[in-house]
Amino acid sequence: MRYRVRHITEYTYGAPVSLCYNMAHLLPRDTRNQRCLNQKIQINPPPVYQNDGEDYFGNQTFYFSIQEAHKKLVIDVTTDFEISPLNVLQWQMQSTLTCGQLRAQLSNPNTPELRMAKEYLLDSPQIRCSEDLKAYALSTFTDDKPVLQAALAFTHKIFTEFKFDPASTTVATPLEQVLKQRSGVCQDFAHLAIGCLRSVGIPARYMSGYLETLPPPGQEKLVGADASHAWFAVFIPELGWVEFDPTNDLMPSDQHIVTAWGRDYADVTPLQGVIFEGGGSQQLAVSVDVKRV
């Protein structure tokens, strides 16, 4: 499948900003089934300094700094992808490693992969393990269950027990609150799942990217109506990192486009940085368009 994704981020400031330094995680990376064919990033006003690189997690980074006064900052990224489907059904049938076995392997790791996977068992900037999270997940991840089946069941559990409600949370809503109110958006569900998995000793990481959406039957698809998306992945030694999307109750295959991954949202914030002067009331508009080509 080939896609073209256009992601436009637009900051509008109440007063002119004289100087800014920004680190962006907006350029998608390659994965085992995803290849970026073309990539174009346009920033306005044009940066006086820019540099692309790769972060600790292997994600693409784009650093830029603007030194002219501006009231509006536009970052326009267009990427073409080729994505091949993953045989998730086969994995579901074949993967037999149980939660108990995985936990045992992790407590006495004997391969580099297992040792490095421990990074995703620990607390991260926005996700802390807790007794509540553990309690919510424990019955799903019993020792005898295969990890993949358990993660799939847990994905379904979140999908059925949580309500998708953009008004109910903000970026700052803590996990405990999300768990209590049983509602949130994809980022909350991904963080929640990761927190639960880590709390029961299963390594999990945060996936950020896009999802192709289809318009209601008979209607034309609106440009910019797609959105950035978040889901999670679980480390299963025989398969590597296996992804799950609790917002849509499925295992991503070729409709999920990956931008970056990390321990949580903080590692892959689309745009972080500082501005000097001006700012005041910042307004942010994001438009994402995912198109098959």
Partner 1 sequence: MQLQTGTFITSVIDEKPTLSSAYDKPINAYDEAFTEDRQPRAHWEALLRNISNLSDEEMLDRQRRAQRILREDGATYNLTSDPLTPSVWSLDLIPNIIPTDEWLEIEQGLAQRSNLFDLILKDLYGPQELLKNGIIPSEIIFSHPGFLRQCHGVMVPGAHQLLHHAVDLVRDHAGQFQVIGDRTQAPNGAGYALENRTVVSRVIPNSFRDSQVRRLAGFFQSFKNMLTSLASQWTDTPRIVMLSPGAYSSTYFEQAYLSNYLGFPLVQGSDLTVRNGAVWMKSLNGLARVDVILRRVDDAYCDQAELRADSFLGVPGLLEVVRAGNVVLANPLGSGILEAPALVKFLPAISEFLTGKQLTLPSVATWWCGDKDDLNYVIANLSNLIIKPAIRSHSSNSIYGHTLSEKQKLNTIEKIKKAPHLYAAQSYVPGSMSPIWLNGKIQARPSLLRAFTVANPTGYTVMPGGLSRAGESTKDSIVTNMSSSKSKDTWIIAAEPEAQSNLITDQVLLQDEALQANLPSRVVENLFWMGRYAERAEISMRLLRTIFKQMNGIDPLPEESRRMLLEMASTQTGCLPGFMEADEKLLANPEAELVSIITDGSRAGSVKANLQAMLSCGEQVKEMLSADTRIIINELRDHIHELDRAYTNGLPSAPEESLDSLVTSLLALSGLNHESMLRGLDWTFQEIGRRTERALQTATLLRSALTTPLSSGPQQQILESVLLSVEALISFRRRYRNRARVAYGLDLLMIDGTNPRSLLYQVEQLRKYIRELPRNETTTAGLSPENKIILKSLNDIQLADLEELAKIDPDSQSRLKLEQLMTEFLAQLEQFTVLISDKYFDHTAGPQSLTEAIRGTNV
> Would you tell me which residues interact with partner 1 (CB under 8 A)?
9, 11, 20-23, 48-49, 51, 53-57, 63, 65, 67, 109-110, 112, 115-116, 118-119, 121-123, 164, 166, 170-171, 185-187, 190, 208, 211, 213, 227-230, 247-248, 267, 269-277, 279, 282, 284, 286
Compare residues 31 and 255 and give the one whose CB is closer to partner 1: 255
Q: Least Å distance between CB 32 and partner 1?
A: 20
Query: What does the alpha-carbon distance between residue 43 and residue 21 come to, in Å, rounded to a whole number?
Result: 13
**Residues facing residue 148 across a β-bridge:** none
Write down the residue that tokens 């990539």 correspond to.
39
Residue 259 CA, distance from chain mean position: 8
Residue 81 CA, distance from chain mean position: 17
Query: What does the alpha-carbon distance between residue 228 and residue 174 come to, in Å, rounded to a whole number?
Result: 20
Q: Least Å distance between CB 40 and partner 1?
A: 20
Compare residues 147 and 288 and give the one whose CB is closer to partner 1: 288
**Residues facing residue 43 across a β-bridge:** 75
Q: Least Å distance between CB 113 and partner 1?
A: 9
Q: Least Å distance between CB 287 and partner 1?
A: 11
Q: Least Å distance between CB 14 and partner 1?
A: 12
Compare residues 41 and 271 and give the one whose CB is closer to partner 1: 271
Query: What does the alpha-carbon distance between residue 9 and residue 284 come to, in Å, rounded to a whole number?
Result: 7
The alpha carbon dihedral of 265, 230, 165, 282 has a sign of positive
Indicate the pairing of strand 163-164 with strand 183-184. Answer: parallel
Query: What does the alpha-carbon distance between residue 269 and residue 193 come to, in Å, rounded to a whole number?
Result: 19
Q: Which amino acid is at 94?
A: Q
Compare residues 90 and 214 and give the one whose CB is closer to partner 1: 214
Compare residues 11 and 154 and give the one whose CB is closer to partner 1: 11
Tell me if residue 33 falls in helix, strand or coil: coil
The alpha carbon dihedral of 204, 136, 245, 213 has a sign of negative
Q: Least Å distance between CB 91 and partner 1?
A: 24
Query: What does the alpha-carbon distance between residue 245 and residue 257 come to, in Å, rounded to a whole number?
Result: 12
Q: Least Å distance between CB 252 and partner 1?
A: 13
Compare residues 18 and 149 and give the one whose CB is closer to partner 1: 18
Query: What does the alpha-carbon distance between residue 171 and residue 125 come to, in Å, rounded to a whole number?
Result: 13
Compare residues 22 and 98 and give the one whose CB is closer to partner 1: 22
